[in-house]
Amino acid sequence: MVFSRKLRDTAGHIVRLVEQHGSDIWWTYPIEELLPESVLKQAGSSASAQEFVPGRDVLDIWFDSGTSWVHVLEDAQQRADVYMEGKDQLGGWFQSSLLTSVACRNKAPYRNVVVHGFTLSEKGEKMSKSAGNVVDPDVVINGGKDKVKEPAYGADVLRWWVAESNVFTEVMIGPTVLNSAREDINKVTEAYKNYEFGKVIRLLEALVTRDLSSFYFSIIKDRLYCEEERDPKRRSCQTALAEALDIVVRSFAPILPHLAEEVFQYLPYKKEGDSVFRTGWFVPNSVWKKPGLVEAVEATCSMRDLFLGAIPGKNTAEYELSVVIEPGLLFEILEEESYQVIVQKTTKERCPRCRKYTAESALAPCPRCLEVIAGKWSQ
């Protein structure tokens, strides 16, 4: 920097020189070339120009970036929720920000520090243009020139991959499913608070694939598809499904914003707000937590496992299950009372409507389905 208040044209002149010849001009050009002609005329002579001396001091970039909190934080006493940077900044930006803020305000500029690793090639090598192993995020999102070799995956897929990675290293029955979801809500919320995005992904994958798809969806098909439209058994599972969908969509919204918003806009029922990002974070309903519910369902699932184990690889619909237990103990199974499970081939026929072996004749619906059909005709 040339220190003079009168040198209004100097900055623009030096910028043009740097654009044409590079920054080395500051160290190699004589002062007569660093100063614009208008300033030289004011100086009057070459000897007068020599009175101007180019500054040789360099502002430490870590001091420059380390004081960014002065501009970013509006209130002098305010602190950022989190500073996030690579592990190489432990002795750089993190430290300079801490030192400058403590020196000026006696407090750190941040409440939390998140240190992440770096993206490496699939061989574990550092990415570099010279090595030709750089993965361009724009190509991942929009695809490359050859869409067959480099298809477009979209932003949400890339965000999912990032969240699923460990950023800190180199890279059932209605009430039951709700109670399980309630526990998952708390775990997901806690994971987000700790910036453990990979854990969020794992929790959501377990909820969707294990609790919902593998278990809950399989046991509600009959009442969802075959019970009378307004039957409480059918309505209860619809309510559970709506609550589960709300939980899943809001949970992955920070990671998959486009998909979450698309699902939200197509919800078939009334929703609060015009966007999933205006609905706020969810709060688990205390009604979902019922004492003894988990234990009771676990006992029922234990019976189910015994039944499935007795007929491996066979069609479960073709068999009947009888539970032999002392009167009054049905809901005390969780206390490890003894009971017997009897499995035998069914004597009923397959219902053409619900496909369960509960009909007296293969040519007519079962009593339950007849009642549902008759109810529709009477409406």
Q: What is the pLDDT of residue 170?
A: 47
**Burial of residue 242 (number of CB atoms within 10 Å: 0-12, 13-18, 19+):** middle
Tens of pLDDT along 133-156? 677 788 878 888 887 777 787 887
Q: Which residues of the chain have pLDDT under 70?
A: 1-8, 43-49, 121-124, 127-129, 133, 163-185, 284-290, 292-294, 326-338, 377-379
Kindly report the three-state secondary structure assignment for every residue of 12-33.
HHHHHHHHHHCCCHHHHCCHHH
The mean pLDDT value of the chain amounts to 78
**Burial of residue 212 (number of CB atoms within 10 Å: 0-12, 13-18, 19+):** buried
CB 318 within 8 A of CB 346: yes
Quote the CA–CA distance of 173 and 211 in Å, as a whole number. 10
> How many Å separate Cα 340 from the centre of its chain?
45
Quote the CA–CA distance of 26 and 15 in Å, as a whole number. 11
- Name, in order, each residue with C-beta under 8 angstroms of 274's C-beta and a sequence gap of 6 or more: none
Q: Which residue has the tokens 């970013």?
A: 72
pTM (two decimals): 0.54
**Token pair in block for residue 126:** 């550092």
> How many Å separate Cα 104 from the centre of its chain?
37
| Percent with pLDDT over 70 in the chain | 78
Tens of pLDDT along 264-277? 998 888 777 789 88
Q: Which domains does the chain have, with CATH numbers?
A: 117-152 (no CATH), 174-288 (1.10.730.10), 293-378 (no CATH)
Q: What is the pLDDT of residue 308?
A: 81
Q: What is the pLDDT of residue 334?
A: 46
Quote the CA–CA distance of 374 and 234 in Å, as a whole number. 17
Q: What is the pLDDT of residue 10?
A: 79
**Burial of residue 200 (number of CB atoms within 10 Å: 0-12, 13-18, 19+):** buried
With CA atoms as reference, report the closest residue to 247 among 175, 182, 156, 174: 182
Q: What is the pLDDT of residue 352?
A: 92
